[in-house]
Structure 1
Amino acid sequence: MSAKIIAVTNQKGGTGKTTTTQNLGDALAGKGLDVLLVDMDHQASLSILCGIDQPDQLADDQIVATPILQVANHETPCTKDIIRHVHEHLDLLASNVMLSRIEMYLSSVSMGRETILKRVLEPVMDDYDVIIIDCAPNLGNLTANDMVAADGLIVPMCAQYLSAKGLDLLLGQYADARSLNPGLRIIGALITMKDPNRSMQGKVLESLQRQKEHGLPMFDTIIPRGVAAEEASTSAQSVIAYKPGSKVAQAYMRLADEVMPWIEA
């Protein structure tokens, strides 16, 4: 069976996007699924969380920018050769600052630039059950590629500053992507970093209502804010590996349970 592709996306930074990508991947790997994480952010936060101390020192034949450039230049992508093993059932396509140059380069590509990542991933589609893309926090050419390659989107949204305007921008790009990828769906919006000592109110509640009016699916799971997540990031581990009994880790396990029916459908 060919892999299902999930893009974890929000053009706003600080929403827990990378943490969600890492921990959802780890949770699904723990269920025995073969998972490939794809770092599509030039800041390389996902690569760092997966144990790469200095991603900007990686050689060109170790980063996702290389097969992207190969496809853009009508060459055969070296995708399989640059995959890094993280642990059992979990692999990574790493990133570094080179992606920022690729973003600019894609602006000069006239034909098929939105489908480049899809073609990069084609050689490994039968090797995995699910591929999870950590998108850059913007709405540029690479994020457009992420959406065109994906089967479904997960949209992390920080509980304390949900943005209706930001949602409108994201839904606009989602609509554009569906013109090239009609099967693309939003799996769900995910509330993250919810402070257990604060209730969501005011503009946050208005944003939630606006999302429902748009027909945006929402996950039942809410990811709480927790010290365990911060500690795990400094040790280059997922929260699930670092402190599996923590509330944050348990929440990500529940998220994986919610995503599983979509993967299996």
Structure 2
Amino acid sequence: MAVVAVYSVKGGVGKTTMSANLAWCSASISKRRTLLWDLDASGGAGFLLGIDARKKKPADSVFSLSRDPCKLIRKTAIDRLDLLPADETIRALDSQLASIGKKKRLAKLTAALAKDYDRIIFDCSPVINELSAQVMRAADLIIVPVPPSPLSARAFDQVVAEVEAHTKVHPPILPVLSMLDMRRTLHRAARETNPRWPAIPQSSAVEQCAVRQMPVGAFAPNAPAATAFKKVWTAIERKLAEKKKK
């Protein structure tokens, strides 16, 4: 089992869309038993998969020392893909984690799920707090969506600093250019500066994910964006394989 965190300290970078689409690639292309764990209070990952988080117990209860996380997991319409949904109770996790005094609570929860899943993907909240620190300790790989802008580049540097601050041997970090529009000068410059980074194009197909409440590969498998997400997932699997060999 491997844990992949999709994280940025900046909102609006395409993090949730990327999380849902990568989870679909894991389940549908790699045929892996996959859990998408929504750690963002907005509950966007569940929305993109057509699941209403309000019909289950509060999301923060999974971090209770007595709660079985399996009881909150929801099946999706996609084979081999389940969701552990979020709601606004996630906002209170910092104080809850402090009260139980467990610095690796998230890592232990994911380890307990290893018997049921091959891949766990975190859709992380765009904050720096105790939960984000626990994400760093639990993750085998961290994906950082980076739209072509100075603020996003600064956010990427902050993520790197955050990872290094909370892990002795930090997990690999894979930046991904998101919302890339090669008609724009700034975007072309970003691509030229980082030619080896995977990239997701700005496209109507990606925007339709929220309208259709499904990953782009499920309704437009031949779209350039679907191909781009597949390439990102291939890069992820390659990174995980390289990490395993070390």
User: What TM-score, normalized by structure 1, do the two folds share?
Assistant: 0.82
Say if 1:37 and 1:132, in contact at 8 Å, map to a contact too.
yes
Task: Let me know the Cα RMSD of the aligned residues.
Answer: 2.3
Aligned counterpart for 2:60 among listed residues 46, 58, 65: 65
- Is 1:101 the counterpart of 2:89? The answer is no
Alpha-carbon distance in 2 for matches of 1:223, 1:159: 11
Which residue is equivalent to 1:44? Answer: 43
Say if 1:79 and 1:121, in contact at 8 Å, map to a contact too.
no
What does residue range 189-228 of structure 1 map to in structure 2 within 5 Å?
189-200=175-186, 205=190, 220-228=197-205
Alpha-carbon distance in 1 for matches of 2:240, 2:139: 12
Distance change >3 Å, CA 49–CA 201, structure 1 → 2: closer
- Is 1:188 the counterpart of 2:186? The answer is no
Which residue is equivalent to 2:73? Answer: 83
Distance change >3 Å, CA 208–CA 45, structure 1 → 2: farther
Unmatched segments (≥5 aa) in structure 1: 213-217
Aligned counterpart for 1:11 among listed residues 5, 9, 12: 9
Say if 2:41 and 2:88, in contact at 8 Å, map to a contact too.
yes
CA shift digits 1:34-56 (9 cap, x unpaired)? 11110001111111111124x3x
Alpha-carbon distance in 2 for matches of 1:201, 1:85: 38
Structure 2 SS opposite 1:39: strand
Unmatched segments (≥5 aa) in structure 2: none
Say if 2:56 and 2:72, in contact at 8 Å, map to a contact too.
no
Q: Which deviates further from its counterpart, 159-168 or 225-234?
A: 159-168
Aligned counterpart for 1:115 among listed residues 99, 104, 125: 104
What does residue range 124-203 of structure 1 map to in structure 2 within 5 Å?
124-179=113-168, 182=169, 184-200=170-186
Structure 1 SS opposite 2:70: helix
Structure 1 SS opposite 2:213: coil
Q: Percent identity?
A: 26
Q: Write the letter of the residue equivalent to 1:261.
A: R
Alpha-carbon distance in 1 for matches of 2:33, 2:56: 26
Which residue is equivalent to 1:23? Answer: 21
Say if 2:146 and 2:178, in contact at 8 Å, map to a contact too.
yes
Structure 1 SS opposite 2:182: coil
CA shift digits 1:191-219 (9 cap, x unpaired)? 000013213369x75x996xx8xxxxx85
Structure 1 SS opposite 2:24: helix
Structure 1 SS opposite 2:186: coil
Moved over 4 A (4+): none
Alpha-carbon distance in 2 for matches of 1:171, 1:228: 30
- Is 1:240 the counterpart of 2:238? The answer is no
Q: How many residues align?
A: 240
Which residue is equivalent to 1:215? Answer: none
Alpha-carbon distance in 2 for matches of 1:174, 1:5: 15
Structure 2 SS opposite 1:125: coil
Q: 1:107 Cα deviation (Å)?
A: 4.2
